[in-house]
Amino acid sequence: LPERDRTELKRRKLLLEVTLKSYWIRKGSAFSTALTRQETELTPEMIATGSWRQLPFKPYNFLALGLPPACGHLHPLLKVRSQLRQIFLEMG
């Protein structure tokens, strides 16, 4: 349809434009019907036997954040204060 007719029909709500998406799916080079678990760590046994050469390894994510650091220690005076509070809570 010409652009002018199409806008007129849309304005009168006689035309509804729909976008259809389609995909072509083909077998890739790593296609397999069996599920195999990828290895995440290289162990000394793998190195000793040489089996690491045939195993698929999971790629590392170097952008991942590590574990948050553990909290610091209490100041010695604060530690004494918390122990005194524990004593008074047990007595009272």
Report the pLDDT value the prediction gives residue 72, as an integer from 0 to 100.
82
Q: Kindly report the pTM of this predicted structure.
A: 0.39
Judge whether 40 and 58 are in contact, CB under 8 Å.
Answer: yes
| Cross-strand pairs, 39 | 57
Note the pLDDT tens digit of each residue in 23-76.
999 999 878 888 888 999 999 999 999 999 999 899 988 898 888 888 888 899
